[in-house]
Structure 1
């Protein structure tokens, strides 16, 4: 799909992979709706950066775990931009817990991570699907994680939530075909704020990677854009990890 002049919603679009994706989409001529939950300053900074570079972007607040807020956000985007044709489900949270500390994985943590990481992506897809179907085409990319493939990661609930995102991608691809493609990008280690306080651990990982480099948010953003453009691709989990899982 040609991205120019398409309206793209990027959840969690003010920081990390979301910010890089918002910028990359704008560089390709898309009109970007930058969603944020609490990071208003970061979202507004992303919007200003895009506008300084000649692109179009607007910030919209919503907690994706709350369906009513997602529907209100999509209504506001339609009022501002006319429709939504592209969705990047990037908003995600984690809690850093030892994988073998099962007692630390409380119900509250399970509920919090599933509400944002899984149900949040479903809320957004459901809200924009009628708009995409009305136009006869649309594309959704969910941001998963290799944690959902390997079972290891920042915490057990996080890894399981990302495995659920991969499953959600396949189910949505079936449910929304043929008008809407749905794929998932599963990054390995990415140099974002999630590594704050653990930079030494990130550096220790580099020699174990086949390509001897940690992916950047811009690396992931390029793949997101390429996946949105590809019209013969749906239901796929695409790994970008410098060979981490090979």
Structure 2
């Protein structure tokens, strides 16, 4: 399926997948593909068009006009552009976080995104993160990691992130939102959240960001070395 070196990082919402994947890719000099941001971008686009997020036919039509451009800046950050408009920050707004689950659960959307992700990562040394990268998108990934953390820790991290951006939300509400998101993600008909049998689990609850990244980089470097030496 791929000729480069694919690292799949899966895990629940709020486990730090995006930040860890981005920093690890930067350290390893790998490409970083923010798959979650692709779904967020479509959710943002749907809301801009006043489309019912539960209307599969409308979402299917919307895909025909959805031409996202993903770039990487000098610090390894993904930048999202839709019709030339920079929507990088827009897709991180709270309302998009609540809407993205509906979009990601649509079968037509999933098929489109999976094909796009495979196309973008083909033949590259690339880190991708999401819910089912190692189980469905790249089942033959060279390295699979399942990143997790307690619900309390994930809620705390998200709360701090939102406060830094000027948003106010109650901790209890945020915790409930994450619990609901976990239940939705684990019970999806398509792209359900689950740990691949050959994935290495990394619990980040009591680890600093740098400790997590160091662990991921060490794991990937070891597997990469084994692949190169194996021929």
Fold shared per TM-score above 0.5 = no
Structure with more relative contact order (C-alpha pairs < 8 Å, separation 6 or more): 2
Question: TM-score when scaled to structure 1?
Answer: 0.39
